[in-house]
Amino acid sequence: MSFEIITKAIEDHGQAVQQMKAELSQEIKNVSTRMFDLEQKAANGADHMEVKGFNNQANPIGSFVKSTQLENMRNGANTTGRVELKGGDITTLRKAMTSASYDVQPQRSTGLYNNPQPRLTILDLLPSLPVSNGKFEFMQLTGKANGAAVQVAEGDLKAESTPTFAVKEATISTIAHWTRASIQILDDAPALEQQLSSLMTYGVQAKLEAEVLNGDGSTGRMLGILPQATPFVDSAAPGLTPADRIGQAITALGAAGWVPGAIVMNHSDWFSIASMKATDSSYILGSPRDPGPANLWSVPVVLSAGIPVGTALVLDPAQLAVLDRQSPTVMASREDRDNFVTNQVTLLAELRAGLAVFAAGAVLKVTLNPA
């Protein structure tokens, strides 16, 4: 390698270093100038500062105007479809420039409060019978004269019994209700949708229990237990208490061949019985600290606010059934009225059920305090 070539390479390298030095010096000068401008603006106050948009993002309306979907609609498409707006962040500190205080957001609980739901004791008590039709029929024995007798001699005509039957029909009722909620609130509080569904489901079940007890059997409605119960006539002996009358009904039910399995009464009536005192003012059934179990004459007491005060039912639960045509369901839809354009959702809860009282004699209605 000749000396001239080496010298030329050294000179080229020196020129490149000098050019790089000049470029770096110019960049440092530019940075210094910008820093000086910023210092001057800061010294003159915030009003002279240039404020950029949040996150320096584009105008959301501009992104819609420039969207391909809008261009397609201009060219004949029926709709833009869903266009995601760029730069549409919500500035939560929008008042920071004009307020000396901070906007403290409250903490919201995820629960749904002030929502009492009494226990549905009647539905818990009665057996459930799945059905597959809007009408339910069953055979009921209406007359039973037991004509069985001993055959005295061979060849004698044997005794005959002539029971009578009747076909009974139970109505399957539709129980439903609906409500509307905004999509925004359901999106913002996901647990609320589940709580609303639970509230709607409980509502139809509570109405079912009310109908099972008191349904009047009119068009579309089931005939409840109370209208079908057999009124019990007590002995009218002097000094009978409500507990005595219930005891007599239990005895009569058992003597008729049924199995007394439950006493249904109002909470107030049970408290009146449970708080009875002896002549020395001591409690008969337990005490306020240690109350006795909810039963009378070894038959469990079922409390229900749906039964009128002053009335009790003594029954054999096996002789009744809740007819389950459609278990409670909850549906949600945006295709109801103007839901689509108002961002609403309609929630519908519904069930179909009925009541079968297979033997009215197995249900005794007791008046606790007759006039």
Q: Which domains does the chain have, with CATH numbers?
A: 121-127+170-367 (3.30.2400.10)
pLDDT band for 323, please (50, 70, 90 cuts). Answer: very high
Q: What pLDDT score does 248 carry? A: 96
Higher confidence at residue 190 or residue 183?
183
pLDDT(64) > 90: no
Please state whether beta strands 320-333 and 262-265 pair in parallel, antiparallel, or not at all (unpaired). Answer: unpaired
DSSP string, 84-144: PPTT----TTTTTTT-SS--PPPPPPSS--S------HHHHHS-EEE--SSEEEEEEEEE-
Cβ proximity of 352 and 153 under 8 Å: no
226 — pLDDT class (breaks 50, 70, 90): very high
- Average pLDDT on 201-205 reads 93
pLDDT surpassing 70 at residue 177:
yes
Q: For position 122, what pLDDT does the model report?
A: 96
- For residue 318, the model assigns a pLDDT of 95
CA gap 258, 255 in Å, rounded: 7
pLDDT at 78: 59
- 28 closest CA partner among 40, 36, 38: 36
Predicted confidence at residue 241, as pLDDT, reads: 92
pTM of the model: 0.71
Residues β-bridged to residue 277: 283
pLDDT recorded at residue 44:
58
pLDDT greater than 70 at residue 334: yes
Question: Which carries the bigger pLDDT value, residue 257 or residue 62?
Answer: 257
The answer to whether 159 touches 147, Cβ cutoff 8 Å, is yes
Which of 85-99, 138-152, 311-325 tops mean pLDDT?
311-325
Q: What is the pLDDT of residue 46?
A: 45
When pLDDT is averaged across residues 208-220 and rounded to a whole number, the result is 95
- The backbone torsions φ and ψ at residue 368, rounded to the nearest 5 degrees and listed phi first, read -75, -35
37, 38, 43, 45 alpha-carbon torsion, rounded to 10°:
120
Q: What is the pLDDT of residue 367?
A: 95
Query: What's the mean pLDDT in 163-181?
Result: 91
User: Which of 27, 351, 331, 43 is closest to 196 using CA atoms?
Assistant: 331
The answer, yes or no, to whether residue 194 has pLDDT greater than 80, is no
Average pLDDT over the chain, rounded to an integer: 82
Q: Which residues of 207-243 are buried (b: 16+ CB within 10 A; e: fewer)?
A: ebbbbbbbbeeeeeebbbbbebbbebebeeeeebebb
Which residues does 21 contact at the CB level (< 8 Å), separation at least 6? none
